[in-house]
Amino acid sequence: MSSSSRVRVGTLVPFAEGKSGSPNASPPMPSIPILEGSNVVGRSNLVAVDKRVSRKHLSLRALPDGSVEVVEGPNPIVVRSEGQRRKVCAQQKAKVMHDDVLELIPGEYFMKYVNTSDERKSSTSVESHDLKKGKRHSEEDSVAAKRNRQVMEDEALARTLQESFAEESTSVTEVLSSLDSVGSSERNKERTDSVGPLKDVLPLTFRLMRVQGLPSWTNTSTVTIQDVIQGEVLLAVLSNYMVDMDWLLTACPSLRKVPHVLVLHGEDGASLEHLKKTKPANWILHKPPLPISFGTHHSKAMLLVYPQGIRVVVHTANLIHVDWNNKSQGLWTQDFPWKEANDMSTNIGFENDLVDYLRALKWPEFRVNLPVAGDVNINAAFFRKFDYSSSTVRLIGSVPGYHVGPNMKKWGHMKLRSVLEECVFEKQFCKSPLIYQFSSLGSLDEKWMSEFACSLSAGKADDGSQLGIGKPLIVWPTVEDVRCSIEGYAAGSCIPSPQKNVEKDFLRKYWSRWKADHVGRWYALPFPAAT
């Protein structure tokens, strides 16, 4: 039967979330007539191309009574009916009635189904329709309130953890104040707003990065690269794997004003040649040595030296646009003041962690003149000039090679084991699950997995007993996760691994899916890769 001879039984009408009946502002879609029989909804129905929406995103079968059945869809959609929100995955079916809402991508592309016969009836029953609509909105508001409450609870938990760390050290607020108190009062007054790490947002040392295209509530307390690199930076050390110099200088133009910048990277070939051509003249490039034939340098960190102290940042994103804008990434950051002259000989675990790792990178020393330190060599030892006594974490470095003797517990999971063995935990942490998340999968075996689990489960309970080995869980995205992410299938390029590594039988019991609906991150794939 040709479409011209088929009867229209309803219409899919786009609307913006929370504004029923108004045009869908972003991304736009036209109304879609639904004809009796089979209907296909897909990318061709969009005004702007979005590769997350396939050409045949879902098939609908419209019945003579005006009801519609979702009969096929390789991509997950959401059907909202009578206050209930149901996710419909591939090969599943769902009934769609008048006034029900379809989300072609969970959280986006809202389409309300309007039955033609019910549309006619609505003119004579506006009052009852409004009551029904009001009830539905009330239920949706309840869901939104529950979601916001969950976000607040998560943030409250994070604040509680931060406060517990601060009981044994200087609080984050005090650290910021101490940075501002160094140097002349007039100079500090000028820099009060520019150097405080994350002023006007929650005083936590861990942040998610802002993701473009998500609802505003999901980006609460997130940061951009400009939030991290700000103020009068005298010296910057940027460590990463991939570096897009054109994007970096555009996204963070203040970097052009930094007089001394060292970039530690893992680039090679044509990418490295382009990096050399596009870098500012005063920037130094260094690719750390790899003593073995496997791996690459991909430690993601920043060391930013200010007149008041240093900002240490450990993050999970390459210095490229898609990592800082399209994926769920995170960073840890804390500021530390310069040491007093009589404290130069003192050091703590965090300081040794940092300096030992920087020494292993073997960058060529260079000499600079800093207003607050004079003429100094920039090497690993230079970073002992800062007071890390307020640090709330330990750094676990990973250095390629084969380590024996004392070096066995200096790097990697054996270093983590030695740190945790000195920690005491509450009884509730006994046999806590072990969650592993990474962006590339090497060749794992049972023996190594067992060793790794032992390292992560090290430590004692407050009654003196061992914590016990927790259940390991490997978070790895499914095809559906990739397809429905912000970048669609293109995001799959960020999870490289040979099929033979992923399909090992013994790994099946470890696989787990990542989900963060309550913070709106279910369609921004997480790819942390900081080591």
Cβ pair 202, 214 in contact under 8 A: no
Helix (H, G, I), strand (E, B) or coil at 35: strand
Q: Residue 226: CA atoms inside 13 Å, Cβ hemisphere, count?
A: 9
Helix H or strand E encompassing 193: helix 185-195
The reply, when asked if residue 415 is annotated as ligand binding, is no
Beta bridge partners of residue 386, listed in sequence order: 338
User: What's the distance, CA 219 to chain centroid?
Assistant: 11
Label residues 360-386 b or e (16+ Cβ within 10 Å = b).
bbebeeeebebeeeeeeebbbebbbbb
| Tokens at 262, concatenated | 């060292």
CA distance 411 to 407: 7
Closest CA to 112 of 94, 96, 128: 96
Other CB atoms within 10 Å distance of the CB of residue 410: 18
Sheet architecture: strand order including 472-475: 434-437, 472-475, 511-512
Sequence-distant (6+) residues with CB within 8 A of 340 are 387
Q: DSSP H helical segments within 220-320, as ranges?
A: 225-228, 245-251, 269-278
User: How many whole angstroms separate alpha carbon 299 and alpha carbon 318?
Assistant: 9
H/E element, 14: strand 8-14
Task: Specify whether the CB–CB gap between 434 and 470 falls below 8 A.
Answer: yes
Q: Is 298 a catalytic residue?
A: yes
Distances (CA, A) of 337 to 33, 131, 176, 450, 455: 64, 61, 9, 41, 33
E strand map for 139-290: 206-208, 235-239, 260-264, 283-286
Q: For the chain, first and last CA: distance in Å?
A: 60
Q: Is 58 exposed, middle or buried (0-12, 13-18, 19+ CB in 10 A)?
A: buried
User: What are the CA-CA distances from residue 117 to residues 43, 66, 401 (Å)?
Assistant: 28, 7, 72
Q: What are phi and psi of 87, to 5 degrees?
A: -85, 125
Selecting among 57, 298, 315, 413, the annotated active-site residue is: 298
156-195: buried (b, 16+ CB within 10 Å) or exposed (e) per residue? eeeeeebeeebeeebbbeebbebbbebbeeeebeebeeeb
Known binding positions for substrate: 300
Residues annotated catalytic, as ranges: 298
